[in-house]
Chains A and B, each alone.
Chain A
Amino acid sequence: MNEHHTDSAPLLGYARSDGRKGIRNVVAVAYLVECAHHVAREIVTQFTPRLTDADFEGDASADADAVFEAVNAHDAPPDVHLIGFPGCYPNAYAQKMLARIATHPNVGAVLFVSLGCESMNKQHLVDVVRESGRPVEVLTIQETGGTRSTIARGADWVRRTRRELARMRPVPMRFDELIVGTVCGGSDSTSGITANPAVGRAFDAMIAGGASCVFEETGELVGCEYHMKARAARPELGDAIVACVEKAARYYTVMGHGSFAVGNADGGLTTQEEKSLGAYAKSGASPIVGIVKPGDIPPAGGLYLLDVVPDGEPRFGFPNISDNAEIGELIACGCHVILFTTGRGSVVGSAISPVVKICANPATYRNLAGDMDVDAGRILEGRASLDEVGREIFDATRAVGRGERSKSEMLGHQEFILTYKAFEPIGPGCLPIVPAAVTPTRVDA
Protein backbone atom coordinates (compact mmCIF):
# COMPACT_ATOMS: atom_id res chain seq x y z
CA MET A 1 0.00 0.00 0.00
CA ASN A 2 1.20 3.44 -0.87
CA GLU A 3 -1.15 5.56 1.25
CA HIS A 4 0.79 6.82 4.25
CA HIS A 5 -2.13 6.64 6.66
CA THR A 6 -2.43 2.88 6.15
CA ASP A 7 1.26 2.11 6.67
CA SER A 8 0.98 1.74 10.43
CA ALA A 9 -2.51 0.19 10.56
CA PRO A 10 -2.54 -3.29 12.10
CA LEU A 11 -4.72 -4.55 9.24
CA LEU A 12 -6.29 -3.26 6.01
CA GLY A 13 -9.92 -3.84 5.11
CA TYR A 14 -12.67 -2.93 2.65
CA ALA A 15 -15.47 -1.14 4.53
CA ARG A 16 -18.92 -2.77 4.16
CA SER A 17 -22.34 -1.28 4.82
CA ASP A 18 -22.95 -3.46 7.90
CA GLY A 19 -19.90 -1.97 9.62
CA ARG A 20 -17.67 -4.97 9.08
CA LYS A 21 -14.46 -4.85 7.04
CA GLY A 22 -13.05 -7.44 4.66
CA ILE A 23 -9.38 -8.26 4.10
CA ARG A 24 -10.12 -9.29 0.49
CA ASN A 25 -12.52 -7.95 -2.16
CA VAL A 26 -13.60 -11.14 -3.91
CA VAL A 27 -16.17 -11.52 -6.68
CA ALA A 28 -18.06 -14.70 -5.68
CA VAL A 29 -19.71 -16.78 -8.42
CA ALA A 30 -22.21 -19.17 -6.80
CA TYR A 31 -23.95 -22.08 -8.50
CA LEU A 32 -27.30 -22.83 -6.87
CA VAL A 33 -27.48 -26.49 -7.88
CA GLU A 34 -24.94 -28.95 -9.30
CA CYS A 35 -26.63 -28.57 -12.71
CA ALA A 36 -25.26 -24.98 -12.84
CA HIS A 37 -21.78 -25.89 -11.61
CA HIS A 38 -20.08 -26.21 -14.98
CA VAL A 39 -21.42 -22.91 -16.27
CA ALA A 40 -20.33 -21.12 -13.07
CA ARG A 41 -16.89 -22.74 -13.21
CA GLU A 42 -16.40 -21.74 -16.85
CA ILE A 43 -17.13 -18.11 -15.90
CA VAL A 44 -14.67 -18.20 -12.98
CA THR A 45 -11.93 -19.90 -14.98
CA GLN A 46 -11.71 -16.92 -17.33
CA PHE A 47 -10.48 -14.77 -14.43
CA THR A 48 -8.32 -17.30 -12.59
CA PRO A 49 -4.55 -17.47 -13.10
CA ARG A 50 -3.46 -21.04 -13.85
CA LEU A 51 -0.36 -22.94 -12.84
CA THR A 52 1.69 -23.76 -15.91
CA ASP A 53 4.54 -26.21 -16.48
CA ALA A 54 6.99 -23.31 -16.29
CA ASP A 55 5.89 -22.65 -12.71
CA PHE A 56 7.27 -26.00 -11.62
CA GLU A 57 10.86 -25.48 -12.70
CA GLY A 58 13.29 -24.90 -9.88
CA ASP A 59 12.81 -25.75 -6.23
CA ALA A 60 9.46 -26.60 -4.70
CA SER A 61 9.48 -23.77 -2.19
CA ALA A 62 9.61 -21.16 -4.98
CA ASP A 63 6.47 -22.46 -6.69
CA ALA A 64 4.15 -20.40 -4.58
CA ASP A 65 5.19 -17.18 -6.29
CA ALA A 66 4.06 -18.38 -9.67
CA VAL A 67 0.28 -18.13 -9.92
CA PHE A 68 -0.25 -14.49 -9.07
CA GLU A 69 2.11 -11.76 -10.18
CA ALA A 70 1.18 -9.56 -7.21
CA VAL A 71 2.08 -11.00 -3.81
CA ASN A 72 -0.25 -8.47 -2.18
CA ALA A 73 -3.93 -8.96 -2.98
CA HIS A 74 -4.59 -5.18 -2.80
CA ASP A 75 -2.23 -4.61 -5.73
CA ALA A 76 -4.08 -7.07 -8.00
CA PRO A 77 -7.52 -7.10 -9.63
CA PRO A 78 -10.14 -8.66 -7.28
CA ASP A 79 -10.06 -12.46 -7.23
CA VAL A 80 -13.00 -14.36 -8.67
CA HIS A 81 -13.97 -17.39 -6.54
CA LEU A 82 -16.35 -20.28 -7.15
CA ILE A 83 -18.77 -21.35 -4.40
CA GLY A 84 -22.09 -23.16 -4.53
CA PHE A 85 -24.48 -25.83 -3.32
CA PRO A 86 -25.05 -29.04 -5.31
CA GLY A 87 -28.44 -30.06 -3.88
CA CYS A 88 -31.74 -29.70 -5.74
CA TYR A 89 -33.93 -30.09 -2.62
CA PRO A 90 -34.46 -27.20 -0.20
CA ASN A 91 -32.34 -26.93 2.95
CA ALA A 92 -32.51 -24.02 5.41
CA TYR A 93 -28.90 -24.57 6.51
CA ALA A 94 -27.55 -24.34 2.94
CA GLN A 95 -29.68 -21.27 2.27
CA LYS A 96 -28.33 -19.55 5.40
CA MET A 97 -24.74 -20.59 4.62
CA LEU A 98 -24.91 -19.12 1.10
CA ALA A 99 -26.56 -15.93 2.39
CA ARG A 100 -23.86 -15.48 5.02
CA ILE A 101 -20.97 -16.23 2.68
CA ALA A 102 -22.41 -13.99 -0.06
CA THR A 103 -22.41 -11.11 2.45
CA HIS A 104 -19.09 -12.04 4.07
CA PRO A 105 -16.88 -8.95 4.46
CA ASN A 106 -14.23 -10.49 2.16
CA VAL A 107 -16.83 -10.56 -0.65
CA GLY A 108 -17.31 -7.46 -2.81
CA ALA A 109 -19.88 -8.69 -5.34
CA VAL A 110 -21.86 -11.84 -6.15
CA LEU A 111 -23.06 -13.56 -9.32
CA PHE A 112 -25.59 -16.35 -8.73
CA VAL A 113 -25.90 -19.01 -11.44
CA SER A 114 -29.18 -20.94 -11.39
CA LEU A 115 -30.42 -23.71 -13.67
CA GLY A 116 -33.99 -22.59 -13.07
CA CYS A 117 -35.88 -25.52 -11.53
CA GLU A 118 -33.83 -26.06 -8.33
CA SER A 119 -35.31 -25.35 -4.88
CA MET A 120 -32.79 -22.81 -3.57
CA ASN A 121 -34.56 -19.51 -2.87
CA LYS A 122 -32.48 -17.34 -5.19
CA GLN A 123 -34.65 -14.25 -4.79
CA HIS A 124 -33.91 -14.29 -1.05
CA LEU A 125 -30.18 -14.53 -1.78
CA VAL A 126 -30.31 -11.68 -4.30
CA ASP A 127 -32.31 -9.53 -1.84
CA VAL A 128 -29.84 -10.14 1.00
CA VAL A 129 -26.84 -9.20 -1.16
CA ARG A 130 -28.59 -6.19 -2.70
CA GLU A 131 -29.58 -4.87 0.74
CA SER A 132 -25.91 -5.09 1.74
CA GLY A 133 -25.10 -2.62 -1.04
CA ARG A 134 -22.99 -5.05 -3.07
CA PRO A 135 -23.29 -5.48 -6.85
CA VAL A 136 -25.35 -8.64 -7.46
CA GLU A 137 -26.70 -10.48 -10.49
CA VAL A 138 -28.53 -13.76 -11.02
CA LEU A 139 -28.43 -15.65 -14.30
CA THR A 140 -30.91 -18.47 -14.88
CA ILE A 141 -29.55 -20.83 -17.52
CA GLN A 142 -33.01 -21.97 -18.71
CA GLU A 143 -33.95 -18.32 -19.39
CA THR A 144 -30.60 -17.17 -20.76
CA GLY A 145 -30.34 -19.41 -23.81
CA GLY A 146 -28.30 -22.22 -22.31
CA THR A 147 -24.65 -22.89 -21.54
CA ARG A 148 -22.82 -20.68 -24.04
CA SER A 149 -24.86 -17.52 -23.63
CA THR A 150 -24.96 -17.81 -19.82
CA ILE A 151 -21.17 -18.15 -19.67
CA ALA A 152 -20.79 -15.15 -22.01
CA ARG A 153 -23.21 -12.97 -20.03
CA GLY A 154 -21.77 -14.06 -16.70
CA ALA A 155 -18.20 -13.37 -17.77
CA ASP A 156 -19.23 -9.96 -19.08
CA TRP A 157 -20.88 -9.10 -15.75
CA VAL A 158 -17.84 -10.28 -13.79
CA ARG A 159 -15.49 -8.26 -16.04
CA ARG A 160 -17.47 -5.03 -15.51
CA THR A 161 -18.01 -5.64 -11.78
CA ARG A 162 -14.36 -6.45 -11.22
CA ARG A 163 -13.37 -3.09 -12.74
CA GLU A 164 -15.84 -1.40 -10.41
CA LEU A 165 -14.49 -3.21 -7.33
CA ALA A 166 -10.88 -2.46 -8.31
CA ARG A 167 -11.57 1.23 -7.65
CA MET A 168 -12.24 0.50 -3.95
CA ARG A 169 -9.28 1.05 -1.64
CA PRO A 170 -8.75 -0.66 1.73
CA VAL A 171 -8.88 1.41 4.91
CA PRO A 172 -7.15 0.85 8.27
CA MET A 173 -8.66 -2.02 10.25
CA ARG A 174 -8.18 -2.89 13.92
CA PHE A 175 -7.69 -6.30 15.52
CA ASP A 176 -11.05 -5.98 17.27
CA GLU A 177 -12.62 -5.99 13.78
CA LEU A 178 -10.95 -9.30 12.89
CA ILE A 179 -12.41 -12.80 13.22
CA VAL A 180 -9.97 -15.73 12.94
CA GLY A 181 -10.92 -19.38 12.67
CA THR A 182 -8.79 -22.46 13.20
CA VAL A 183 -9.10 -25.99 11.91
CA CYS A 184 -6.79 -28.99 11.78
CA GLY A 185 -6.60 -31.50 8.97
CA GLY A 186 -4.36 -34.45 8.20
CA SER A 187 -3.40 -34.53 11.86
CA ASP A 188 -0.69 -36.73 13.29
CA SER A 189 0.82 -36.99 16.72
CA THR A 190 3.00 -33.92 16.11
CA SER A 191 -0.06 -31.67 15.50
CA GLY A 192 -0.95 -31.75 19.16
CA ILE A 193 2.55 -30.94 20.41
CA THR A 194 3.75 -28.25 17.97
CA ALA A 195 1.32 -26.51 15.57
CA ASN A 196 -1.85 -26.75 17.67
CA PRO A 197 -0.51 -25.35 20.94
CA ALA A 198 1.36 -22.69 18.91
CA VAL A 199 -1.95 -21.61 17.32
CA GLY A 200 -3.32 -21.54 20.87
CA ARG A 201 -0.60 -19.03 21.82
CA ALA A 202 -1.39 -16.92 18.73
CA PHE A 203 -5.13 -17.05 19.58
CA ASP A 204 -4.41 -15.82 23.11
CA ALA A 205 -2.40 -12.87 21.71
CA MET A 206 -5.09 -11.96 19.15
CA ILE A 207 -7.86 -12.17 21.75
CA ALA A 208 -5.80 -9.90 24.03
CA GLY A 209 -5.80 -7.46 21.07
CA GLY A 210 -9.61 -7.60 20.85
CA ALA A 211 -10.07 -10.15 18.04
CA SER A 212 -12.72 -12.87 17.93
CA CYS A 213 -11.26 -16.36 17.54
CA VAL A 214 -13.27 -19.47 16.66
CA PHE A 215 -12.31 -23.12 17.20
CA GLU A 216 -14.56 -25.92 16.15
CA GLU A 217 -15.39 -29.54 15.45
CA THR A 218 -17.16 -30.63 18.59
CA GLY A 219 -16.79 -34.22 17.36
CA GLU A 220 -13.04 -33.77 17.71
CA LEU A 221 -13.46 -32.48 21.26
CA VAL A 222 -14.96 -35.69 22.66
CA GLY A 223 -13.09 -36.22 25.93
CA CYS A 224 -12.37 -32.48 26.50
CA GLU A 225 -15.87 -31.39 27.52
CA TYR A 226 -15.26 -30.96 31.25
CA HIS A 227 -12.02 -29.08 30.73
CA MET A 228 -13.87 -26.70 28.37
CA LYS A 229 -16.69 -26.31 30.87
CA ALA A 230 -14.17 -25.08 33.44
CA ARG A 231 -13.01 -22.41 30.95
CA ALA A 232 -16.53 -21.12 30.18
CA ALA A 233 -17.10 -17.44 31.00
CA ARG A 234 -20.56 -18.18 32.46
CA PRO A 235 -21.98 -21.30 34.22
CA GLU A 236 -24.88 -21.72 31.77
CA LEU A 237 -22.37 -21.62 28.89
CA GLY A 238 -20.37 -24.42 30.56
CA ASP A 239 -23.47 -26.63 30.64
CA ALA A 240 -24.19 -25.80 27.00
CA ILE A 241 -20.62 -26.82 26.03
CA VAL A 242 -20.97 -30.22 27.73
CA ALA A 243 -24.37 -30.73 26.06
CA CYS A 244 -22.97 -29.94 22.63
CA VAL A 245 -20.06 -32.39 22.98
CA GLU A 246 -22.48 -35.07 24.23
CA LYS A 247 -24.59 -34.42 21.12
CA ALA A 248 -21.47 -34.89 18.99
CA ALA A 249 -20.57 -38.18 20.73
CA ARG A 250 -24.14 -39.48 20.18
CA TYR A 251 -24.10 -38.44 16.54
CA TYR A 252 -20.79 -40.12 15.83
CA THR A 253 -21.90 -43.27 17.66
CA VAL A 254 -24.88 -43.51 15.28
CA MET A 255 -22.54 -42.94 12.33
CA GLY A 256 -20.36 -45.74 13.79
CA HIS A 257 -17.24 -43.69 13.10
CA GLY A 258 -15.57 -40.68 14.69
CA SER A 259 -13.47 -38.05 12.99
CA PHE A 260 -10.51 -40.40 13.18
CA ALA A 261 -9.02 -41.14 9.75
CA VAL A 262 -6.62 -43.86 8.69
CA GLY A 263 -3.70 -41.45 8.30
CA ASN A 264 -4.11 -40.33 11.90
CA ALA A 265 -3.15 -43.79 13.15
CA ASP A 266 -0.18 -44.01 10.76
CA GLY A 267 0.99 -40.75 12.31
CA GLY A 268 0.96 -42.21 15.81
CA LEU A 269 -2.48 -41.19 17.10
CA THR A 270 -4.33 -44.16 18.55
CA THR A 271 -7.74 -43.02 19.81
CA GLN A 272 -10.43 -40.40 19.22
CA GLU A 273 -9.85 -38.76 22.60
CA GLU A 274 -6.09 -38.56 21.98
CA LYS A 275 -6.77 -36.79 18.70
CA SER A 276 -9.30 -34.57 20.49
CA LEU A 277 -6.85 -33.39 23.14
CA GLY A 278 -4.32 -32.50 20.48
CA ALA A 279 -6.95 -30.59 18.48
CA TYR A 280 -8.20 -28.84 21.62
CA ALA A 281 -4.74 -27.31 22.13
CA LYS A 282 -5.56 -24.90 19.24
CA SER A 283 -7.99 -23.09 21.51
CA GLY A 284 -5.24 -21.65 23.73
CA ALA A 285 -5.92 -20.63 27.32
CA SER A 286 -8.39 -17.72 27.01
CA PRO A 287 -11.85 -18.01 28.58
CA ILE A 288 -14.54 -19.40 26.25
CA VAL A 289 -17.10 -16.60 25.87
CA GLY A 290 -19.64 -18.21 23.54
CA ILE A 291 -20.93 -21.04 21.35
CA VAL A 292 -21.89 -20.33 17.74
CA LYS A 293 -23.43 -22.52 15.05
CA PRO A 294 -22.65 -22.24 11.31
CA GLY A 295 -23.67 -18.75 10.12
CA ASP A 296 -23.77 -17.15 13.60
CA ILE A 297 -21.38 -14.21 13.77
CA PRO A 298 -19.51 -13.57 17.06
CA PRO A 299 -20.99 -10.36 18.53
CA ALA A 300 -17.84 -9.29 20.42
CA GLY A 301 -14.17 -10.22 20.85
CA GLY A 302 -13.11 -13.41 22.64
CA LEU A 303 -12.92 -17.16 22.11
CA TYR A 304 -15.89 -19.03 20.60
CA LEU A 305 -16.62 -22.72 20.10
CA LEU A 306 -18.31 -23.49 16.76
CA ASP A 307 -20.83 -26.33 17.16
CA VAL A 308 -20.74 -28.09 13.79
CA VAL A 309 -22.77 -31.21 14.64
CA PRO A 310 -26.37 -31.08 13.34
CA ASP A 311 -29.31 -31.03 15.76
CA GLY A 312 -32.03 -33.66 15.88
CA GLU A 313 -31.86 -37.22 14.65
CA PRO A 314 -28.87 -37.91 12.36
CA ARG A 315 -30.24 -37.40 8.85
CA PHE A 316 -27.73 -36.38 6.22
CA GLY A 317 -24.69 -38.47 7.11
CA PHE A 318 -21.39 -37.35 8.56
CA PRO A 319 -21.48 -33.83 10.03
CA ASN A 320 -18.58 -32.57 7.92
CA ILE A 321 -17.39 -34.81 5.15
CA SER A 322 -13.97 -33.19 4.77
CA ASP A 323 -11.88 -30.29 6.10
CA ASN A 324 -13.25 -27.74 3.60
CA ALA A 325 -16.79 -28.23 4.90
CA GLU A 326 -15.52 -27.00 8.29
CA ILE A 327 -13.63 -24.12 6.68
CA GLY A 328 -16.82 -23.08 4.87
CA GLU A 329 -18.70 -23.01 8.18
CA LEU A 330 -15.99 -20.90 9.84
CA ILE A 331 -16.25 -18.47 6.91
CA ALA A 332 -20.05 -18.34 7.27
CA CYS A 333 -19.40 -17.24 10.88
CA GLY A 334 -17.49 -14.27 9.49
CA CYS A 335 -13.92 -15.58 9.81
CA HIS A 336 -11.59 -13.44 7.70
CA VAL A 337 -8.67 -15.86 7.80
CA ILE A 338 -8.31 -19.54 8.68
CA LEU A 339 -5.32 -20.99 10.55
CA PHE A 340 -5.01 -24.57 9.33
CA THR A 341 -2.67 -26.92 11.20
CA THR A 342 -1.50 -30.14 9.59
CA GLY A 343 0.88 -32.95 10.48
CA ARG A 344 0.46 -35.34 7.57
CA GLY A 345 0.40 -32.46 5.10
CA SER A 346 -2.89 -31.05 3.82
CA VAL A 347 -2.51 -28.67 0.87
CA VAL A 348 -6.02 -27.16 0.72
CA GLY A 349 -6.98 -23.51 0.73
CA SER A 350 -10.43 -22.01 0.42
CA ALA A 351 -12.66 -19.71 -1.52
CA ILE A 352 -13.43 -16.34 0.17
CA SER A 353 -11.06 -16.40 3.19
CA PRO A 354 -7.30 -17.04 3.00
CA VAL A 355 -5.99 -20.21 4.63
CA VAL A 356 -2.65 -20.01 6.48
CA LYS A 357 -1.00 -23.42 6.70
CA ILE A 358 0.93 -24.30 9.86
CA CYS A 359 2.94 -27.49 9.49
CA ALA A 360 3.39 -29.50 12.68
CA ASN A 361 5.75 -32.18 11.43
CA PRO A 362 9.33 -31.25 10.41
CA ALA A 363 9.59 -34.13 7.92
CA THR A 364 6.32 -33.08 6.27
CA TYR A 365 7.53 -29.49 6.09
CA ARG A 366 10.67 -30.53 4.23
CA ASN A 367 8.52 -32.55 1.82
CA LEU A 368 5.79 -29.91 1.23
CA ALA A 369 7.53 -26.60 1.99
CA GLY A 370 5.93 -24.89 -1.02
CA ASP A 371 2.49 -25.38 0.55
CA MET A 372 3.32 -24.37 4.12
CA ASP A 373 3.31 -20.87 5.63
CA VAL A 374 4.76 -21.69 9.06
CA ASP A 375 7.22 -24.44 10.06
CA ALA A 376 6.07 -25.36 13.58
CA GLY A 377 7.97 -28.67 13.51
CA ARG A 378 11.11 -26.67 14.39
CA ILE A 379 9.88 -27.02 17.98
CA LEU A 380 10.56 -30.79 17.85
CA GLU A 381 14.09 -30.22 16.59
CA GLY A 382 14.90 -27.66 19.28
CA ARG A 383 15.13 -24.84 16.69
CA ALA A 384 12.25 -22.74 18.04
CA SER A 385 10.05 -22.49 21.12
CA LEU A 386 6.26 -22.71 21.23
CA ASP A 387 6.14 -18.98 22.02
CA GLU A 388 8.33 -18.12 19.02
CA VAL A 389 6.18 -20.13 16.63
CA GLY A 390 3.05 -18.65 18.22
CA ARG A 391 4.42 -15.17 17.51
CA GLU A 392 5.24 -16.19 13.94
CA ILE A 393 1.63 -17.36 13.43
CA PHE A 394 0.40 -14.04 14.83
CA ASP A 395 2.68 -12.14 12.43
CA ALA A 396 1.63 -14.31 9.47
CA THR A 397 -2.05 -13.65 10.27
CA ARG A 398 -1.35 -9.91 10.45
CA ALA A 399 0.49 -9.99 7.11
CA VAL A 400 -2.41 -11.81 5.43
CA GLY A 401 -4.72 -9.28 7.07
CA ARG A 402 -2.75 -6.54 5.35
CA GLY A 403 -3.17 -8.15 1.95
CA GLU A 404 -0.21 -10.50 1.66
CA ARG A 405 -1.25 -13.73 0.01
CA SER A 406 -0.84 -17.02 1.90
CA LYS A 407 0.86 -19.96 0.18
CA SER A 408 -2.43 -21.71 -0.63
CA GLU A 409 -3.78 -18.47 -2.14
CA MET A 410 -0.65 -18.08 -4.25
CA LEU A 411 -1.05 -21.63 -5.51
CA GLY A 412 -4.65 -20.95 -6.55
CA HIS A 413 -6.33 -23.20 -3.97
CA GLN A 414 -10.00 -22.16 -3.71
CA GLU A 415 -11.71 -25.34 -2.48
CA PHE A 416 -15.32 -25.07 -1.38
CA ILE A 417 -17.90 -27.66 -0.33
CA LEU A 418 -21.39 -27.28 1.11
CA THR A 419 -23.72 -30.18 1.89
CA TYR A 420 -27.06 -30.85 3.60
CA LYS A 421 -27.34 -30.31 7.38
CA ALA A 422 -29.99 -29.29 9.91
CA PHE A 423 -29.61 -27.00 12.93
CA GLU A 424 -31.78 -25.51 15.63
CA PRO A 425 -30.95 -21.92 16.67
CA ILE A 426 -28.34 -21.60 19.44
CA GLY A 427 -29.74 -21.89 22.95
CA PRO A 428 -30.05 -19.16 25.60
CA GLY A 429 -26.79 -18.29 27.33
CA CYS A 430 -24.61 -19.24 24.37
CA LEU A 431 -23.55 -15.69 23.46
CA PRO A 432 -22.02 -12.93 25.59
CA ILE A 433 -24.27 -9.94 26.33
CA VAL A 434 -23.09 -6.95 24.28
CA PRO A 435 -24.45 -3.43 23.74
CA ALA A 436 -27.02 -3.25 20.95
CA ALA A 437 -24.76 -0.97 18.91
CA VAL A 438 -22.35 -3.83 18.12
CA THR A 439 -24.79 -6.65 17.46
CA PRO A 440 -24.13 -8.33 14.11
CA THR A 441 -26.17 -8.10 10.94
CA ARG A 442 -29.66 -9.53 10.95
CA VAL A 443 -30.09 -13.27 11.00
CA ASP A 444 -31.63 -14.68 7.84
CA ALA A 445 -33.25 -18.00 7.04
Chain B
Amino acid sequence: MTFDARLLLLSPDDNCLIAATTLDAGVPLEIDGETVVLPVTVALGHKVARRALAAGDKVLRYGAPIGHVTRAVAKGEHLHTHNLESDYLPTYTLDAGHAFVEHDD
Protein backbone atom coordinates (compact mmCIF):
# COMPACT_ATOMS: atom_id res chain seq x y z
CA MET B 1 0.00 0.00 0.00
CA THR B 2 1.37 3.40 -0.90
CA PHE B 3 -0.33 6.73 -0.48
CA ASP B 4 0.30 10.34 -1.23
CA ALA B 5 1.83 11.85 1.93
CA ARG B 6 -1.05 14.35 2.04
CA LEU B 7 -3.49 11.50 2.79
CA LEU B 8 -3.72 9.69 6.13
CA LEU B 9 -4.73 6.05 6.53
CA LEU B 10 -5.79 5.74 10.19
CA SER B 11 -6.25 1.97 10.29
CA PRO B 12 -5.15 -0.72 7.77
CA ASP B 13 -8.71 -1.89 7.03
CA ASP B 14 -10.11 1.59 6.39
CA ASN B 15 -11.74 2.33 3.05
CA CYS B 16 -11.45 6.09 3.49
CA LEU B 17 -8.43 8.40 3.68
CA ILE B 18 -8.14 11.74 5.50
CA ALA B 19 -6.78 14.89 3.85
CA ALA B 20 -3.83 16.13 5.97
CA THR B 21 -4.02 19.48 4.18
CA THR B 22 -6.48 21.13 1.80
CA LEU B 23 -6.21 19.43 -1.61
CA ASP B 24 -7.30 21.41 -4.68
CA ALA B 25 -9.52 20.02 -7.45
CA GLY B 26 -7.43 18.57 -10.26
CA VAL B 27 -4.58 17.49 -7.99
CA PRO B 28 -3.26 14.02 -8.85
CA LEU B 29 -3.04 11.72 -5.80
CA GLU B 30 -1.52 8.30 -5.40
CA ILE B 31 -3.91 5.85 -3.73
CA ASP B 32 -2.80 2.24 -3.34
CA GLY B 33 -0.33 2.64 -6.20
CA GLU B 34 -2.84 4.16 -8.60
CA THR B 35 -3.06 7.84 -9.56
CA VAL B 36 -6.46 9.50 -9.08
CA VAL B 37 -7.23 13.09 -10.06
CA LEU B 38 -9.39 14.82 -7.45
CA PRO B 39 -12.70 15.92 -9.00
CA VAL B 40 -13.38 18.58 -6.30
CA THR B 41 -11.39 20.48 -3.68
CA VAL B 42 -11.15 18.48 -0.46
CA ALA B 43 -10.54 20.53 2.70
CA LEU B 44 -8.22 19.57 5.55
CA GLY B 45 -9.74 16.79 7.64
CA HIS B 46 -12.25 15.70 5.01
CA LYS B 47 -12.40 12.14 3.65
CA VAL B 48 -11.90 10.58 0.21
CA ALA B 49 -12.79 7.03 -0.83
CA ARG B 50 -9.82 4.69 -0.84
CA ARG B 51 -11.61 2.36 -3.27
CA ALA B 52 -14.88 2.25 -5.25
CA LEU B 53 -17.89 1.70 -2.99
CA ALA B 54 -21.41 0.42 -3.81
CA ALA B 55 -24.57 1.92 -2.31
CA GLY B 56 -25.06 0.53 1.20
CA ASP B 57 -21.36 -0.23 1.81
CA LYS B 58 -20.08 0.64 5.27
CA VAL B 59 -17.36 3.28 5.48
CA LEU B 60 -14.56 2.28 7.86
CA ARG B 61 -12.44 4.82 9.77
CA TYR B 62 -10.20 3.88 12.73
CA GLY B 63 -11.13 0.35 11.59
CA ALA B 64 -14.73 0.94 12.71
CA PRO B 65 -17.91 1.76 10.74
CA ILE B 66 -18.90 5.44 10.64
CA GLY B 67 -22.03 4.92 8.49
CA HIS B 68 -22.94 3.73 4.98
CA VAL B 69 -22.77 5.30 1.52
CA THR B 70 -26.13 6.16 -0.02
CA ARG B 71 -24.97 5.84 -3.63
CA ALA B 72 -22.09 4.41 -5.65
CA VAL B 73 -18.84 6.25 -4.89
CA ALA B 74 -15.74 6.25 -7.11
CA LYS B 75 -12.20 5.83 -5.83
CA GLY B 76 -10.86 9.24 -4.77
CA GLU B 77 -14.32 10.81 -4.48
CA HIS B 78 -15.08 13.15 -1.56
CA LEU B 79 -17.02 11.27 1.15
CA HIS B 80 -19.37 13.54 3.11
CA THR B 81 -23.01 14.30 3.88
CA HIS B 82 -24.00 14.09 0.18
CA ASN B 83 -23.12 10.41 -0.05
CA LEU B 84 -22.47 9.10 3.49
CA GLU B 85 -25.13 8.61 6.18
CA SER B 86 -25.09 7.60 9.84
CA ASP B 87 -26.37 4.17 10.89
CA TYR B 88 -27.67 5.82 14.10
CA LEU B 89 -28.84 9.42 13.80
CA PRO B 90 -29.42 11.93 10.98
CA THR B 91 -26.82 14.66 10.40
CA TYR B 92 -27.97 18.26 10.13
CA THR B 93 -26.18 21.09 8.37
CA LEU B 94 -27.12 24.65 7.47
CA ASP B 95 -28.26 25.39 3.92
CA ALA B 96 -27.94 28.82 2.29
CA GLY B 97 -31.05 29.98 4.15
CA HIS B 98 -29.58 28.91 7.50
CA ALA B 99 -32.34 26.39 8.20
CA PHE B 100 -31.71 22.87 9.41
CA VAL B 101 -31.65 20.42 6.52
CA GLU B 102 -31.85 16.71 7.00
CA HIS B 103 -29.62 14.68 4.69
CA ASP B 104 -31.64 11.55 3.98
CA ASP B 105 -31.06 11.20 0.25
Contact across chains for A361 and B79 when beta carbons are under 8 A apart: no
Which residues in B have their C-beta under 8 angstroms from that of A277? Answer: 61-62, 64, 66
- List residues of B (1-60) whose CB comes within 8 Å of A's CBs: 8, 10, 18-21, 43-47
Contact across chains for A268 and B80 when beta carbons are under 8 A apart: yes
Point out the residue from A253, A267, A361 that lies within 8 Å of B89, measured CB to CB: A253
Q: Nearest chain-A residue to B42 (Cβ)?
A: A268
Point out the residue from A190, A223, A224, A273 that lies within 8 Å of B45, measured CB to CB: A190
Contact across chains for B66 and A252 when beta carbons are under 8 A apart: no
Any B CB within 8 A of the CB of A265: yes
Cβ of A301 to closest chain B Cβ, rounded Å: 27
Cβ of A385 to closest chain B Cβ, rounded Å: 14
Which residues in B have their C-beta under 8 angstroms from that of A222? Answer: 88-89
Cβ of B87 to closest chain A Cβ, rounded Å: 7
Contact across chains for B88 and A270 when beta carbons are under 8 A apart: no
Given contacts A260-B89, A260-B92, A272-B86, contact A265 B80 (CB under 8 A): yes
Contact across chains for B81 and A270 when beta carbons are under 8 A apart: yes
Any A CB within 8 A of the CB of B94: yes
Contact across chains for B91 and A271 when beta carbons are under 8 A apart: yes
A83 to B90, CA, bound (A): 35
- List residues of A (251-289) whose CB comes within 8 Å of B's CBs: 252-253, 257-258, 260, 262, 265-274, 277-278, 281
Contact across chains for A190 and B44 when beta carbons are under 8 A apart: yes
Q: Nearest chain-A residue to B43 (Cβ)?
A: A268
Contact across chains for B44 and A363 when beta carbons are under 8 A apart: yes
Contact across chains for B67 and A273 when beta carbons are under 8 A apart: yes
Contact across chains for A189 and B62 when beta carbons are under 8 A apart: no
Any A CB within 8 A of the CB of B77: no
Contact across chains for B88 and A273 when beta carbons are under 8 A apart: yes
Cβ of B99 to closest chain A Cβ, rounded Å: 11
Residues 60-77 of B, flagged 1 when their CB comes within 8 A of A and 0 if not, give 011011110000000000
- Would you give 29 A-B contacts (Cβ < 8 Å), ordered by A? A189-B45, A190-B44, A190-B45, A223-B65, A223-B66, A223-B87, A223-B88, A249-B88, A253-B89, A257-B89, A258-B88, A258-B89, A265-B80, A265-B81, A266-B93, A268-B44, A268-B46, A268-B47, A270-B47, A270-B81, A271-B66, A271-B87, A272-B88, A272-B89, A273-B66, A273-B88, A343-B45, A361-B45, A380-B21
Q: Which 3 A-B pairs have the closest CB atoms?
A: A189-B45, A274-B66, A268-B45
Interface residues, chain A, with chain B CB atoms under 8 Å away? 188-190, 192-193, 222-224, 227, 249, 252-253, 257-258, 260, 262, 265-274, 277-278, 281, 343, 361, 363, 380-381
